[in-house]
Amino acid sequence: MSLLETVRRANRPGPPEHSVQLRVSCALAVVISVVACCSQNELSIPVAILICLLSSAGMFFSYRTRTSPKSIVKPFLALFAVGAFTWFFVTATNHAQSGDIGSVEGPLAALFAWIQVGHAFDVPARRDLAFSLAGSATLMAVAGAQALTPTFGIYVVAWLAAGMWALFSIWGSMSDGGSLRPLSIVGTLGVVVLIAFGALLVLPAPHPSSTILFPSSAAGDVSLGLGGGITGDSGSQTQPAQAGTTSGPTRVGGFLGFAGKLDTAIRASLSDQVVMRVRASVPSFWIAETFDHWNGQSWSVTDPDNRIINGGSPFVMPVPEGDNLSGQSDIQTFYLATTGPNLIFHAGDAHEIWFPSQGLVVSRDGTIRTSLGMGPSTVYTVESTIDQPSAAELEQTRTSDQTLDPTDYARDTQLPYAYPRVARLAKSITAGKTTVYAKVEALIGWIGTHTHYSTDIPPLPPGVDTVNEFLFGNRTGYCEQISTALTVMLRTLGIPAREAVGYVPGPYDPITDLYDIQARDAHAWVQVWFPYYGWQSFDPTAVVPLANPSPSRILLHDVAQVVEKAPWVPAGIPLAALFAAAYGVRVWRRRPATWAEKVSRRLERLGRRARSPRKPGETLSELASRLDAACGDRSGTLLAVARVAEAAAYGRSEPAPEVRAQLETTLRSSPLRGWRLRLRPKPPVRVAPRPDDLEPPLESPSRPVSLR
């Protein structure tokens, strides 16, 4: 066969597809995929509406011309496809950025969508409709690559429903109008769910790519200048961030707003609102700012020594005070969901930052501010260096080892007064500990054993020190009071320590590969300086995982929570009632429609009891005759009943009520009803005969043996 003939055979149109359901389901799958792309800003709303209308019109046109396709359509569709590809290459060439695959995802989605429009006008056969279904899957994949929230699952479920409808319609068309039983459909879907569940259980933890995508975009582009302070605390990109006050309506500490002051006397009230989402290969403390000056109630910064970094993305950050940028490199991408402060969050020490700003302001401690206000949909990327030495490595460092600069050491061990009671307590807890790490762990262990975590802290009396009240008073607090107490206890021992605020990783979504950072994930912890390793984070109130969890771990954890919190008793009552109702409906539907059918079922039940079930093609009279013979009834009682039932069935007239009652009584009194018990005899009891009971050997083998 020549190559030309092979090409002709491959492009030969298939038989016309007459199934309306198949066309509607395929068109619906395409529309859902286009809407999904629109929801992720891959397509504009006008373009999405136009594509949906044209695709639907093309499906209708193809259905009308399925038996006699218009040959003139193919040249126009070919020109349309060439134009679409030309537009894509021109757009990608002019707007694509080197190393940023995200810059071509929008044009790629538009290309696939317009190809679907052209293809919709020439789908006369079943295989053409299957191509439309596959094309819609491609559009869903493009949209899913940009999904940041689980709400995208609504589009996935809708598309799966349309896709399953299309697949079942294809099966019906291939079987010439055959229909699937509901149990077959449920069974098939159940197998698919089990396979998907099993695949999810064996999937490893995802590792986001950190070599291609470095997205950054500002929402609102509100210029703040490089000389201002922290903004964005009040829900506006331009309003300055202010620390909370005890008389404020929210009574929330400065750690939520990330202001220039952290007041530990304020009660926390944090919601479940998602403030941002983070994609990172390694979960970590995501730092906003640190504080080094303590006055007994509030934290602040002694001298930020701000430095302006210009040059555009990527901004190269200087080495923070006390660090050396050694360790593991990790890239995090932050997606803001609400208006946030003009602070760049990062893990460890920020090395490079991709942010669409005219410049950045960096403090000596590594706190980073932007010149643009950050509103919802702001995206920026940070490459950080995370130094996570092991416990054995930290154990090798001693207080007498390399120290900070005297000015920095004095700043990071500053106290408003000597704290004699705190110092005595800290020394007693760390007695016998010779290393910084051992002392830190001993203090954390004591705090975990002797204090109580609660956001409902008692009000701090005026003029009372937060640490003294927490350690020697109520011993109740949350992250601010606990971390502050640990920092002050370390400083009384001469160990450099400072307060850090930011976020801990929130719930991890394996579908979007993002951490959903909620307002309640705002946190305060302690950073301790170690010779050779720099500032290391310690947290006595929360634990940061070592790696991204696997999908199976998250799934099993969620299932365990649902099982643990599910109200089984209240939920069991309606479920039991529903089951009973379903069983009652099933019994009601399977009840005998006529008296003859009722008699027939009873005779068949008697046959099963006698281990002589009804044979294929056997009449009811033949079955009754066999049963009479089995029980030794020569009068033919069951046969008489069967003949009356057959006469009622085929003659369409039932006997009188008293006759029916008498025949039913005959069936109930049949000896076959007890055959099931008699067919299972007990094993014989063997009794050894006495010697005088045995007779001499028999002369004739035909003579029976008798026992007296």
For the stretch 182-228, pLDDT in tens is: 777 777 778 877 887 777 666 666 555 444 446 666 665 555 555 55
CA 442 to chain centre: 38
Stated as kind and residue range, the H or E segment containing 631 is none
**For the residues of 216-268, what is the DSSP string, one character each?**
-B-SS-EE--SS---B-TTSSSSSBP----TTSSS---HHHHT-S-EETTSPP
Which of helix, strand or coil describes residue 385? strand
Give the model's pLDDT for residue 622.
87
Mean pLDDT of 528-553: 73
CA distance 110 to 48: 9
Which of helix, strand or coil describes residue 59? helix
Q: How confident is the model at residue 359 (pLDDT cuts 50, 70, 90)?
A: confident
Identity of the amino acid at 240:
P
Taking a C-beta distance cutoff of 8 angstroms, is the pair 339, 204 a contact?
no
Give the model's pLDDT for residue 415.
93
Of 399 and 639, more confident: 639
Q: Which of 194, 166, 154 is nearest to 26 (CA)?
A: 166
Taking a C-beta distance cutoff of 8 angstroms, is the pair 337, 512 a contact?
no
Structure tokens at 204: 């490893």
Within 10 A of 324 (CB to CB), how many other CB atoms are there? 13
Sign of the C-alpha dihedral computed for residues 580, 582, 587 and 588 taken in this order = positive
Mean pLDDT of 230-258: 49
CA distance 405 to 493: 18
Mean pLDDT of 284-310: 87
Q: Name the least confident of 277-281, 437-441, 488-492.
A: 277-281
Taking a C-beta distance cutoff of 8 angstroms, is the pair 301, 294 a contact?
no
Give the model's pLDDT for residue 565.
65
Q: Which of 592, 652, 642 is nearest to 621 (CA)?
A: 642
pLDDT at residue 644 greater than cutoff 50? yes
Q: Which of 386, 349, 342 is nearest to 366 (CA)?
A: 349
Of 671 and 164, more confident: 164
Give the model's pLDDT for residue 11.
61
Q: Which long-range contacts (CB under 8 A, 24 or more apart) does 606-613 make?
A: 606/638, 606/667, 606/670, 606/672, 606/673, 609/672, 609/673, 609/675, 609/676, 610/672, 610/675, 610/679, 611/675, 611/679
CA 512 to each of CA 159, 368, 445, 509: distance values in angstroms, whole numbers, following the listed order:
18, 27, 36, 6
Structure tokens at 615: 């044979």
Mean pLDDT of 404-426: 90
Mean pLDDT of 11-17: 71
* Highest mean pLDDT out of 125-134, 175-184, 557-566: 125-134
Q: Which of 336, 330, 103, 96 is nearest to 210 (CA)?
A: 330
Give the model's pLDDT for residue 487.
94
pLDDT at residue 486 greater than cutoff 90? yes
CA distance 438 to 43: 57
- DSSP strand E in 298-378: where? 298-300, 307-309, 315-316, 328-336, 346-347, 349-354, 360-362, 368-370, 372-373
Average pLDDT score, the chain? 77
Q: Which of 56, 60, 38 is nearest to 47 (CA)?
A: 38
pLDDT at residue 173 greater than cutoff 90? no
Matching residue, tokens 């201002």: 228
Matching residue, tokens 């932007």: 370
pLDDT tens for residues 310-357?
A: 877 788 888 887 776 677 788 889 988 887 788 889 988 888 888 888
Which of helix, strand or coil describes residue 529? strand
Q: Which of 120, 109, 45 is nearest to 77 (CA)?
A: 120
pLDDT at residue 599 greater than cutoff 70? yes
CA distance 140 to 34: 8
Structure tokens at 324: 């050396």
Q: Which long-range contacts (CB under 8 A, 24 or more apart) does 446-451 make?
A: 447/482, 447/485, 447/486, 447/540, 448/540, 450/475, 451/475, 451/476, 451/477, 451/482, 451/485
